[in-house]
Structure 1
Amino acid sequence: MAGESVDFKLFRYNPSLAAAIIFIVLFFTVTALHFYQMLRTRTWIFIPFVVGGVFEVIGYIGRAIAAQQSPNWSVAIYSVQTILILIAPALFAASIYMMLGRIILVTDGEAHSVISKKWLTKIFVTGDVISFLMQGAGGGIMASGTIDAMHTGENIIIGGLVVQLLFFGFFIITGILFHARLIRTPTQKLYSNSLPWERQLYTLYGASLLILIRHDGTDGLDTSK
């Protein structure tokens, strides 16, 4: 065990201060813009999105601090930045799920959805909450700082990411099927209103793709670098 303790490192790569600062600026700017738009349009479904953005900003501030501590990283700083950066996308996903429900509502396209609007948000947000709790619990276990806790916490976090991936994959399939059916058989609302529903769906696809590819592992080859 003594040898294992010597070889163990919190980070398996050297955090980049420059990258952390860039992400702080980007997430702060985008979050501030979404917060303003949310208040201006009273689009409260974006509350989770804004909170997720705040988590990202704080998380990358922690990452910037950690970058200056190498190789003597603080367990507290490591835990805070890891937890916040990991769980923030679950909050982004919650707003994305609710946005699809809003698109289905304004297009009067519930008949084209494989899941009724009543259950769509509930099902996917439930999966999101499970993933959120698993990742948060895993991060909390890692915060104890012992080697066994680090490994256990990592496994729980990976399990949470798998849950998120499964629900998110099903969500994307649901969105694509709805999109295809609505194009094939437009509703009356699409004829009577110039709704930007298709542009909004493409925006959801893009945001979903970014969430899916955000994490490749703990060897530094990921977006949390």
Structure 2
Amino acid sequence: MSTTSSNSGYDYALYRYTPSIPAAAIFAGVFLILSILHLIQLARSRAYFFIPFVVGLLFECAGYIARIFSHFNTTALGPYIVQTMLILVAPPLFAASIYMTLGRVVVKLDAEDKSIIPVRFLTKIFVVGDIVSFLLQCGGGGYMAAGTLSAMDTGANIVVGGLVVQLLFFGFFVIVSAVFHWRARRQQLNISDSYSVQPQGFMNCMTWVSVMYALYAACFLILVRSVFRVVEFVEGNSGFIMRREYLLYIFDACLMSLTGIVLVIVFPGHLFPGSGNKRDSELPLVSTEHGFNYAEQKSTR
């Protein structure tokens, strides 16, 4: 096991255990399958705002593949840094697609007045926060690549800062989403959930409300995972979590795979087909006898 000693005799180990091949292989396979399923859904719906989510799933897959290489050489810095960075920065990519989904829900329902943040700023604010979190976590992971004890400690502190930024923005996002959802339902904007689609996916029927609940579930899973990673890095390299590999799989791999499963079952792109077409995404939905429809019929364009 590779260690770097400080003057006080403190040892920094890349791993406090030998990474498990079966566990890493299982989750690499899980994330690869989820990536394929999301790509299929994305291709069918042309919901290009979900590309960051797919990239995040591929990062997770590559990260766990890197852990397999670490099993054979726990002193190799390359695989260690790759798995650390890719597994760390995947959730901010998930978050980017989640943030953009809420903005589309607000626009499609023509319900900007129900949101506590103007829709023109809604996605921008959260995506900017997401980018800051992403860059801090990437920077922290990259700083750790220097391999010295000082660099490892400083890099870990930067990663913690990125995770805290992610937690703050995610927490605020949940509040904004819940307030919008409550206001929309209270004012019976769509109390019967009549705006629905028949997706070419796993669900027979999907509504904007079901998408909101899927977003809540995904946010909860990512929040729990982020709290776990903050505690892990605050405890330090010799902490309780760093010494127990199974905790990584329970509170990171399992939770992130569940996030992918939730959003492949309730895939938001089916509610916004062709969202790569800006004209369609900007058209509000208005109440009709049969539910909701575009304010302007496509056939008249």
Q: Of the two, which has the highest radius of gyration?
A: 2
Partner Cα distance (2:161, 2:137) in 1: 8
Q: Does 1:4 align with 2:4?
A: no
Partner Cα distance (2:166, 2:32) in 1: 25
1:15 match: 19
Moved more, 58-67 or 148-157: 58-67
3-state DSSP of counterpart to 1:11: coil
Q: Does 1:43 align with 2:54?
A: no
* 2:132 aligns with one of 112, 115, 130: 130
Can you list the C-alpha shifts for 1:31-88, whole angstroms capped at 9, x where unaligned?
111111111111000010011111111111001221333xx33111100110010001
Q: CA RMSD in A?
A: 1.9
2:220 match: 209
* 1:200 aligns with one of 207, 211, 215: 211
Moved more, 38-47 or 15-24: 15-24
Can you list the C-alpha shifts for 1:164-201, whole angstroms capped at 9, x where unaligned?
000000000111111111110122x6679433011000
Moved more, 12-21 or 120-129: 12-21
Partner Cα distance (1:68, 1:148) in 2: 26
Equivalences for residues 27-38 of structure 1 within 5 A: 27-38=31-42
Partner Cα distance (1:66, 1:3) in 2: 28
Structure with a larger share of its residues in strand: 2
1:180 match: 182
Structure with a larger share of its residues in helix: 1
Q: CA deviation at 1:107?
A: 1.7
Q: CA deviation at 1:121?
A: 0.2
Q: 1:9 to 1:192 in 2, by over 3 A?
A: closer
Cα pair 1:48 1:95 within 8 Å, conserved: yes
Partner Cα distance (2:192, 2:222) in 1: 33
User: Could you state the TM-score of these two structures normalised by the residue count of structure 2?
Assistant: 0.69
How many residues align? The count is 221
Partner Cα distance (1:213, 1:31) in 2: 22
Partner Cα distance (1:68, 1:184) in 2: 58
Give the unaligned 5+ runs of structure 2.
Answer: 1-5, 197-206, 233-240, 254-301
Cα pair 1:17 1:68 within 8 Å, conserved: no
3-state DSSP of counterpart to 1:87: helix
Can you list the C-alpha shifts for 1:64-123, whole angstroms capped at 9, x where unaligned?
221333xx3311110011001000100000000000111111222211111111101000
Q: CA deviation at 1:11?
A: 2.0
